[in-house]
């Protein structure tokens, strides 16, 4: 039995995660959407912390090219997670606004 290349194995896991994530997110009922967004924002905040740590990685001679790759991946992670958090808050705000009662305009009185 031959061994599978770790890169191919990781790529297969990534592709499966994309499909599972797609079907999980699109099958969520609207009532559960806001709590799900809150959990997603919490996960993204952990990604930001990890991205900041990666962006602060050493890039000197001892780290070589891997240091610059870590910095670039850290900056990309912080940027994408920040966009995700901001979008999550905007969607949550919009959904919560749908449940607010709209004020009716007061009728003008005939006296005057």
Q: Cβ distance 18 to 58 under 8 Å?
A: no
What integer pLDDT is reported at residue 15 of this predicted model?
93
Which of 91, 82, 86 has the alpha carbon at shortest distance from 25?
Answer: 91
Q: pTM for the complete prediction?
A: 0.56
58-105 pLDDT tens trace: 655 555 667 788 888 888 989 998 898 888 788 778 877 888 777 777
């Amino acid at each position: 039995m031959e061994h599978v290349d770790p890169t191919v194995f990781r790529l297969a896991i990534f592709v499966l995660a994309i499909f599972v994530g797609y079907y999980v997110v699109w099958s969520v009922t609207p009532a559960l959407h806001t709590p799900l967004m809150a959990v997603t924002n919490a996960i993204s905040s952990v990604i930001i912390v990890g991205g900041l740590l990666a962006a602060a990685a050493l890039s000197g001679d001892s780290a070589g090219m891997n240091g610059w790759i870590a910095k670039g991946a850290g900056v990309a992670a912080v940027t994408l997670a920040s966009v995700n958090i901001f979008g999550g808050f905007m969607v949550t705000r919009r959904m919560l606004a749908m449940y607010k009662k709209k004020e009716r305009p007061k009728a003008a009185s005939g006296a005057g």
